[in-house]
Structure 1
Amino acid sequence: MGREGKQRKLKRAKAEQKMSKKKNLIQTNSAEIARLRQELHRLGLQLVTIDSDGNCLFRTLSDQLYGDQTHFPDIRKEIVQYIKDHQENLEPFMEDEETFDNYCRRMAEDGVWGGNLELYVAALVWKRRIVVHQVDGNRTTIDCGDPKAPEWHICYYNDEHYDSIRSADDDLTSAPLPVSLPNEDKICVEITADNGEDKALESLKKEFPQMDVDELESLYHQLNSDPARVRKKLIAKNKKSKNFQKKRR
Structure 2
Amino acid sequence: MRSRRQSVGECSTSSSLNSQQSVEDDRMIAVILSEEYAKLDGAVARRLSSLAPLPHIPQVNTYIPTFSVANLDHQRLLQRLNIYGLCEVKVSGDGNCQFRALSDQIYRSPEHHKHVRKEIVKQVVDLNMFIVLKDHCSLYEGYVPMKFKHYYKKMAKCGEWGDHVTLQAAADKFVAKICLLTSFRDNCFIEILPQYQEPQQELWLSFWSEVHYNSLYEIQDAAVRQKARKKHWLF
Q: TM-score, normalised by structure 1?
A: 0.54
Partners in 2 of 1:89 and 1:46 — Cα distance? 33
Query: Which residue of the other structure, out of 78, 81, 84, is the alignment partner of 1:40?
Result: 81
What is the CA-CA distance between 1:147 and the residue it aligns to? 5.8
**Contact 2:175 / 2:199 at 8 angstroms: preserved in 1?**
no
Q: Which residue of 2 aligns with 1:185?
A: none
Aligned-CA RMSD value = 2.4
Partners in 1 of 2:95 and 2:199 — Cα distance? 32
Q: Which residue of 1 aligns with 2:219?
A: 168
1:105 pairs with 2:153:
yes
For structure 1, list consecutive stretches of 5 or more residues without a partner in the other structure.
Answer: 1-23, 176-249
**Contact 1:37 / 1:47 at 8 angstroms: preserved in 2?**
no
Q: Which residue of 2 aligns with 1:138?
A: 188
Partners in 2 of 1:167 and 1:44 — Cα distance? 6
Deviation digits for residues 165-198 of structure 1 (CA, Å, limit 9, x no counterpart): 11112111579xxxxxxxxxxxxxxxxxxxxxxx
Counterpart AA for 1:110: C
What is the CA-CA distance between 1:32 and the residue it aligns to? 3.8
Counterpart AA for 1:99: K
Partners in 2 of 1:60 and 1:92 — Cα distance? 26
What is the CA-CA distance between 1:140 and the residue it aligns to? 0.7
Query: Which residue of the other structure, out of 144, 151, 158, is the alignment partner of 1:94?
Result: 144
**Contact 1:47 / 1:166 at 8 angstroms: preserved in 2?**
yes
Find the residue that maps to 1:131 and give its secondary structure: strand
Percent identity of equivalent pairs: 29
What is the CA-CA distance between 1:33 and the residue it aligns to? 3.0
What is the CA-CA distance between 1:89 and the residue it aligns to? 2.6
Deviation digits for residues 7-40 of structure 1 (CA, Å, limit 9, x no counterpart): xxxxxxxxxxxxxxxxx93x76455434423322
**Contact 1:64 / 1:152 at 8 angstroms: preserved in 2?**
yes
Query: Which residue of the other structure, out of 206, 217, 232, is the alignment partner of 1:155?
Result: 206
For structure 2, list consecutive stretches of 5 or more residues without a partner in the other structure.
Answer: 1-65, 126-132, 230-235
**Contact 1:41 / 1:168 at 8 angstroms: preserved in 2?**
no
Structure-2 change in CA distance of 1:70 and 1:148 (3 Å): closer
- Higher RCO, Cα 8 Å, sep 6+: 2
What is the CA-CA distance between 1:143 and the residue it aligns to? 1.0
Partners in 2 of 1:89 and 1:39 — Cα distance? 33
What is the CA-CA distance between 1:158 and the residue it aligns to? 4.3
**Contact 2:175 / 2:198 at 8 angstroms: preserved in 1?**
no
What is the CA-CA distance between 1:114 and the residue it aligns to? 0.9
Counterpart AA for 1:172: R
Partners in 1 of 2:121 and 2:85 — Cα distance? 34
Partners in 2 of 1:164 and 1:31 — Cα distance? 21
Partners in 1 of 2:193 and 2:175 — Cα distance? 9
Query: Which has a greater percent of helix?
Result: 1
Partners in 2 of 1:37 and 1:166 — Cα distance? 14
**Contact 2:180 / 2:206 at 8 angstroms: preserved in 1?**
yes
Q: TM-score, normalised by structure 2?
A: 0.57
Find the residue that maps to 1:144 and give its secondary structure: coil
What is the CA-CA distance between 1:148 and the residue it aligns to? 5.9
**Contact 2:193 / 2:199 at 8 angstroms: preserved in 1?**
no
How many aligned positions are there? Answer: 149
Counterpart AA for 1:91: E
